[in-house]
Amino acid sequence: VHLVESGGGLVQFGGSLRLSCAASGFPSDSYAIGWFRQAPGREREGVSSISIKDDDTYYADSVKGRFTISSDRVENTVYLQMNDLKPEDTAIYYCAVEPEAIYLGPDSREYSYWGKGTQVTVSS
């Protein structure tokens, strides 16, 4: 299983970024992908997740209305569109996958495979 995140960077307060998570190495008809983030000195937080089979989604309260998760089943890629970014969104963002899962939420222990992360920095 291989996950590659991309799309992170430096953006100003109120700006936007789109993260991508390209997944490979497992059956692609049913799996769940989650986006997590970890800021220095803080615990890893579940940000959003999506079920590939039926498009069920989860959003943390802190990102509802600002972040949108979506998937491209042909490319096996999941996106996290992040709008109206705030300095508190600054963190390393990771994607994680659990093959054959129907739906998973924000519990990182339920995901077996992780990417290496991409840094998102929001300046004030």
- Tens of pLDDT, residues 106-120: 999 999 999 999 999
> Does pLDDT of 28 surpass 80?
no
Asked if residues 93 and 80 have their Cβ atoms less than 8 Å apart, the reply is yes
- In this prediction, residues 86-108 reach a mean pLDDT of 93
* Neighbouring-strand partners of residue 92: 38, 119
> Cα(100)–Cα(85) distance, rounded to whole angstroms?
32
Per the prediction, the chain carries an average pLDDT of: 94
Say whether 89 sits in a helix, a strand or coil: helix
φ, ψ (nearest 5 deg) of residue 56? -65, 140
In this predicted structure, the answer to whether residue 50 has a pLDDT above a threshold of 90 is: yes
pLDDT at 98 over 80: yes
**Cβ atoms < 10 Å from Cβ of 77:** 18
Report the range of poorest mean pLDDT among 23-32, 85-94, 103-112: 23-32
pLDDT at position 103: 80
* Average pLDDT score over residue span 20-32: 89
Question: What confidence score (pLDDT) does residue 12 get?
Answer: 98
> From CA 32, how far away is CA 55, in angstroms rounded?
9
pLDDT, position 101: 86
Q: Phi, psi at residue 23, to the nearest 5°?
A: -115, 145
Q: Buried b / exposed e across 53-73, counting CB within 10 Å, b at 16+?
A: eeeeebbbeebeeebebebee
